Amino acid sequence: MIIVLNKLKKLGFVPKLIEWEYELKKTMITVSIIGGSGYAGGELLTLLLNHSKAKVHQVTSNRFAGEPIPFVHPNLRGKTSLSFSHFEDLEKVDFLFISLPNGESMRYIDRLMEKATRIIDLGADFRLKTEKDWLKWYKIPHLKKELLGKFIYGLPELNRDEIKKANYVAGPGCEATVTILTLWPIIKNNLIDKEFIVVDAKMSSSQAGNKPTESSHHPERAGVVRSYMPVHHRHTVEVEQELSLNNTKPKIAISATAIELVRGLLVTIHTKLKEKIEEKAIWKTYRQYYQNEPFIRIVTQKRGLYRYPEPKILQGTNYCDIGFAVDKHCGRLVLIGAIDNLTRGTAGQAIQCMNLMCGFKETLGLEFPGLHPV
């Protein structure tokens, strides 16, 4: 856009163009990423480099400080000339994204708040509202407990108005994101027994991050359908927190299974209907809350391969696909949700929140529809 304005200036279209250019520059923001060498940081950077209103200023990584970014993120060859910066060299910007392991950002948050007036933390440190919940589920003391509850939970479909006014947002966990979005209208309309909600989550390998472990070693990871956390998944507390409606907290039971998929997440949620109901009524419930949501799609086809949500076709997109089926035999409602854990579950959702916080079009930079076949 700036290049076009400069060319038009040379042709004599000066006064109005100067005004347009001023408005364009005024709405541009400078952005930095803290912890940009991981998968989430790389996804953020990929999206931001193609965002028309954001200019990436720095990407930090103490391990790779001084190295060109494509050394770690080869998909960005030719897209950026930036090199990784050391955390100690961080400069002031308009907007900061924190992409650090759980338990890290609370150690640095005071310093980071001096570097930017608006911050989105992709980790778990500020998602919960009480120190008691943090200690129970993360097993370490919280170093900035006075900030718990100060960050808005970054799920636009539930908290859009609060996010628009926020300076600090906590990005939800990827499994929590798809579970909350899939359940919210059903719980909101009081259609199921809130004491019986079982979430079967199929998790891809990128959700474990890019730090090698014994379980991520190829001979151990390839071909697996490994139940690695049948109970006590840490995202349980987020889901229960955000789905607590009308002073009632649901009971959520999550079982997590690792599967041979690099990106993507599928939840199959088993619930008990309060009374007999037709599938058309479930459809209307979802339409009631999601018909104007740009990144929610209700998927319940009667024919074809993709009758229900499928993570494979969501890779690189910010969509959450939701499907359902009523089991009349035993009064069960089965809900199915799918996302790309790195985009909708992490970086894409953070960009969506940034757009809201900055007054940009909510879908800006997130229009990629995915690929097929993949």
What is the C-alpha to C-alpha distance for residues 340 and 314, in angstroms, rounded to an integer? 6
**Within a domain: 90:** yes
**Within a domain: 20:** yes
Total tally of structural domains belonging to the chain: 2
- Name the nearest CA neighbour of 60 among 81, 86, 82, 41: 86
| Predicted local confidence at residue 211, as pLDDT | 82
Domain residues for the domain of 277 are 175-341
**Within a domain: 119:** yes
Sole residue written with tokens 């150690």: 107
- Are residues 17 and 81 both part of a single domain? yes
- Are residues 194 and 297 both part of a single domain? yes
- Going by C-beta distance under 8 Å and a sequence separation of 6 or more, which residues neighbour residue 42? 36, 72, 73, 75, 76
**Within a domain: 346:** no
- Are residues 321 and 240 both part of a single domain? yes
List the CATH number of the domain containing 226.
3.30.360.10
Residue 268's CB is within 10 A of a number of other CB atoms, namely: 18
- Are residues 45 and 79 both part of a single domain? yes
**Within a domain: 363:** no
- Are residues 18 and 82 both part of a single domain? yes
- Are residues 266 and 192 both part of a single domain? yes
DSSP state of 109: H
List the CATH number of the domain containing 25.
3.40.50.720
What is the C-alpha to C-alpha distance for residues 263 and 204, in angstroms, rounded to an integer? 5
Active-site residue set:
174
The predicted model scores a pTM of 0.92
- Are residues 180 and 300 both part of a single domain? yes
- Are residues 197 and 141 both part of a single domain? no
- Are residues 194 and 309 both part of a single domain? yes
**Within a domain: 156:** no
Domain end call among 150, 167, 192 = 150
| Predicted local confidence at residue 372, as pLDDT | 94
| Predicted local confidence at residue 215, as pLDDT | 83
- Are residues 220 and 288 both part of a single domain? yes
295, amino acid identity: F
DSSP state of 71: G
DSSP string of 322-335, one letter each residue? EEEEEETTTTEEEE
Over the chain (374 residues), the average pLDDT of each successive run of 10 is 54 55 66 97 97 98 97 97 97 98 97 98 97 96 96 98 98 98 97 97 88 85 91 96 92 96 96 95 97 96 93 97 96 97 98 98 97 92
**Within a domain: 164:** no
What is the C-alpha to C-alpha distance for residues 318 and 294, in angstroms, rounded to an integer? 9
35 touches 63 (CB < 8 A): no
- Are residues 141 and 249 both part of a single domain? no
CA 166, 170, 174, 176 dihedral sign is: negative
31 touches 120 (CB < 8 A): no
Domain end call among 84, 117, 150 = 150
**Within a domain: 297:** yes
CA 126, 129, 131, 132 dihedral sign is: negative
- Are residues 104 and 19 both part of a single domain? yes
Tokens linked to 42: 């790389």
